Amino acid sequence: MIKKTTGHKIHKFAKSIFNINRSLTGPGVRETLKELKTICPKLNIKSYNSNIKVFDWKIPLEWNLKDGYIIGPDGKKFCELKKNNLHIMGYSEPVEKYLSLSELSKKLHSIKKIPSAIPYVTSYYKKDWGFCISHNEKQKLKKGKYFVKIDSNFRVGKLNFGEVVIKGKSRKEILLSTNICHPSMANNELSGPSVAIFLAKWLSKRKNKYTYRILFLPETIGSIAYIAHNKKKLLRNVVAGYNIVCVGDDRSYSYMPSRRGDTFSDRAGLLTLKKNKYKFNRYKWLDRGSDERQYCSPGVDLPIATLCRSKYGEYKEYHTSLDDLHKVVTAKGLEGGYKLLKDTITVIEKSVFPKNEYPCEPMLSKRNLYPKDSKSHFSKEQYLLRELLTWADGSNSLDDLALKLNTSVKKTYTIVKYLKKLKLLKINNVYGD
């Protein structure tokens, strides 16, 4: 009998919600949140009203899509919502009319380079409509009259999101954020919330040093709205965090830094990748493209990095119907994504931070920790001790200090214990204290 791993459980859950038609707003988002809540009952479903201004943006009207299809000259239906929800361009306005093939072609989206794929296309903030079709199918269309119908409506409603808060010993928070706004795509969409909700389940069953805030948001507008309503609290409490996206394939690992590039999040993520000897692609801030853009933007500047498997936009099935739960996202891939984040959280939880007790250099000579005269040189031990003191500012963990001193964690800890005994530094359990 094959033992079911967490990856298998996550894959099974992702499969159960794959066909829900999600967008920025609407019933698909609410249905998805209700299903996530079955895995972690601590999840609270919240909302912001349509038309509320959030910084330079405005929360859009709620979009409700009931049906959509095209009927060809031969009377056959195609581009049916009921067969694949990628067929209808996101946020399409209602339409019901006859068009010639040349008129219809202007409203059809396909990818010539990937002819078997249905592309994912949206028009969130400009009124429009359209259908998405594989290039192979588009090439088969013949001249004649085509009947198009999109049964949709816009109304003043809600932008829904989910939030799980798991309190720890400290008020300092680790922020985990993922997206719930894409329709049926496995790695780009479902891997993130599926892994995140199982992380929430795991975290809710253990005693944590930090408080964890886990968000399930529509991309971009969701994170902007959340920051607009919670900026002061986030800036006061968040010391580390990760944007969780594309964590389900089994092809590679990837690291996207925060804007600053050397935060507690960056160091813990890189340490986990290197300790586990993962081969990974290291990206630059210039390669950003998900909600790390909002959390790290000037004026917010939260320490949020992104850990993923194949990075968004870097695998051929991205934003198409080929991003599936068979060839792209696997139980093994999801297990790897889940383990990477779980191990990184464990590194964060176990990290301690030595901090120099003196504003300037302590007088080492009176403690026999300095060369006897100006002609003498520092011994190796004296050098390590002095260097450790200069980096012990409460923001560098033992692992960080070991890397900076180019020595082992064990050796670093021995020096830290000795300096603590001399009352030259203290050890903080929480980052930034």
Is 1 contained in some domain? Answer: no
Q: What is the pLDDT of residues 26-83, one digit of tens each?
A: 999 999 999 999 999 999 999 999 999 999 999 999 999 999 999 999 999 999 999 9
- Averaged pLDDT for residues 4-28: 96
CA–CA separation, 90 vs 74, rounded Å?
27
The number of distinct structural domains making up the chain is 3
pLDDT, position 378: 65
Q: Which two structure tokens, joined as six digits, stand for 257?
A: 């830094």
CA–CA separation, 224 vs 59, rounded Å?
10
Percentages helix, strand, coil for the chain (3-state, rounded to 5) are: 35, 25, 40
pLDDT mean across residues, the chain? 94
User: Do 103 and 246 share a domain, yes or no?
Assistant: no
pTM for the whole thing?
Answer: 0.94
Is 139 contained in some domain? Answer: yes
Q: What is the pLDDT of residues 88-131, one digit of tens each?
A: 999 999 999 999 999 999 999 999 999 999 999 999 999 999 99
Q: Is 80 exceeded by the pLDDT of residue 374?
A: no
At which residue do the structure tokens 């964590």 appear? 247
User: Do 143 and 185 share a domain, yes or no?
Assistant: no
Note whether 66 and 21 are within 8 A (CB). Answer: no
CA–CA separation, 327 vs 336, rounded Å?
16
Contacts of 258 (CB under 8 A, 6+ apart): 265, 266, 285, 292, 296, 302, 303, 304, 305
Please give the full DSSP string across 55-124, using - where no structure is assigned.
Answer: TTEEPPPEEEEEEEEEE-TTS-EES-TTT-GGGBPBTPPPEEEEEEHHHHHTTEE--TTSTTPPBP-B-S
**Number of residues assigned to the chain:** 433
CA–CA separation, 128 vs 143, rounded Å?
24
Is 313 contained in some domain? Answer: yes
Residues above pLDDT 70, as percent of the chain: 97
Q: What is the pLDDT of residues 131-142, one digit of tens each?
A: 999 999 999 999
Note whether 391 and 401 are within 8 A (CB). Answer: yes
User: Do 376 and 254 share a domain, yes or no?
Assistant: no
Tell which residue, 344, 302, 305, 312, has the closest CA to residue 199: 344
Q: Is 70 exceeded by the pLDDT of residue 372?
A: no
pLDDT, position 362: 84
Q: Is 60 exceeded by the pLDDT of residue 2?
A: no
Note whether 297 and 225 are within 8 A (CB). Answer: no
| R_g of the chain, CA atoms, integer Å | 26
Is 229 contained in some domain? Answer: yes
User: Do 140 and 237 share a domain, yes or no?
Assistant: no
pLDDT, position 373: 57
Residues above pLDDT 90, as percent of the chain: 87
Of 350, 379, 410, which residue sits at a domain end? 350
- Can you tell me whether residue 29 is helix, strand or coil? helix
Is 433 contained in some domain? Answer: no
User: Do 207 and 242 share a domain, yes or no?
Assistant: yes
Note whether 228 and 55 are within 8 A (CB). Answer: yes
Of 311, 332, 350, which residue sits at a domain end? 350
User: Do 164 and 266 share a domain, yes or no?
Assistant: yes
pLDDT, position 368: 78
- Can you tell me whether residue 334 is helix, strand or coil? helix
Q: Which residue has the higher pLDDT, 166 or 383?
A: 166
User: Do 49 and 25 share a domain, yes or no?
Assistant: yes
User: Do 216 and 344 share a domain, yes or no?
Assistant: yes
Q: What is the pLDDT of residues 215-239, one digit of tens each?
A: 999 999 999 999 999 999 999 999 9
- Averaged pLDDT for residues 143-169: 97
At which residue do the structure tokens 């079955």 appear? 38
Of 155, 190, 221, which residue sits at a domain end? 155
CATH number of the CATH domain containing 117: 3.50.30.90
Q: Is 80 exceeded by the pLDDT of residue 277?
A: yes
Tell which residue, 216, 188, 192, has the closest CA to residue 311: 188
Is 370 contained in some domain? Answer: yes
Q: Is 90 exceeded by the pLDDT of residue 379?
A: no
Is 72 contained in some domain? Answer: yes
User: Do 335 and 413 share a domain, yes or no?
Assistant: no
Q: Is 70 exceeded by the pLDDT of residue 320?
A: yes
Is 131 contained in some domain? Answer: yes
CATH number of the CATH domain containing 422: 1.10.10
User: Do 231 and 289 share a domain, yes or no?
Assistant: yes
- Can you tell me whether residue 404 is helix, strand or coil? helix
CA–CA separation, 413 vs 399, rounded Å?
9
Structural domain of 338:
6-60+158-350
pLDDT, position 377: 61
β-strand partners of 98: 147
Q: What is the pLDDT of residues 182-193, one digit of tens each?
A: 999 999 989 999
User: Do 94 and 219 share a domain, yes or no?
Assistant: no
At which residue do the structure tokens 């892994």 appear? 195
User: Do 149 and 179 share a domain, yes or no?
Assistant: no
